[in-house]
Amino acid sequence: MDYDLLDDHELVDGILNNNKPLIKYFFTKKCSGLLAYILMNVFDGNIDKRELVSELYLFMAHNDWQVFRKFQFRSTLMTYVSVVSVRFFIAKRAQLIDSPLSTSLNNQKGQIHSTALSFEQRIDIREALNRMPNERYRKVIEILDLQDIRPEQLAEEMNVTVDNLYNIHRRALVQLRLVMSRKEDWV
């Protein structure tokens, strides 16, 4: 089915009826330009676009798609979604990027405390983490992997779901692997 041909009423009805392919289309394709705008203008490019998609989906799906149920068709759907999304992400910016994660980072001062790692390995890991461009990813790895904090505790502090935290962690590990594969750049 060509979802580009659907009008606003059909899109909203499909979302409210939990049409999975349509929902995927809406958040990954239809909102792509909007999310690119938010990424650059709200977050200055300092967050992963997939994280924005996840956050927007969770926000919109909350309370049985309440945001879509409030839409009264007095404007286009994308105008409405744009206004709601920009306001949401401006309010959420502090939680997603501006506020530092305090769980054990402030308590442990970012130290790596694994007895299974040699001194050289700890230095290598610290250097690789310092080379990661996304500070939030770095902190998630430090907290979850190196300081053994429970994911539920960190998710609560970050004000995200545990599932979203796992997605953030997965992307963080991919970024760490990329940084470590370029080890000659920082050795």
Amino acid (one-letter) located at 40: M
Q: Which residues of the chain have pLDDT under 70?
A: 95-122, 148, 182-187
Query: Given this model, what pLDDT does residue 111 score?
Result: 46
0.85 exceeded by the pTM?
no
In 10 A of CB 27, how many CB atoms? 19
List CB contacts of 34: < 8 A, sequence separation 6 or more: 78, 81, 82, 85
CATH for the 3-98 domain, from 1.10.1740, 1.20.120, 1.10.3470, 1.10.10:
1.10.1740
Cα distance between residue 21 and residue 45, in whole Å: 28
Q: How far apart are the first and last CA of the chain?
A: 52
Hey, which CATH number is domain 105-185, 2.40.128, 1.25.40, 1.20.1070, 1.10.10? 1.10.10
Q: How far apart are CA 138 and CA 129, in angstroms?
A: 6
Q: Where are the domains of the chain?
A: 3-98, 105-185
Q: And the tokens for 164? A: 């979203």
Residues 69-103 have pLDDT tens digits of 999 999 999 999 999 999 999 888 876 665 555 44
pLDDT score at 25? 95
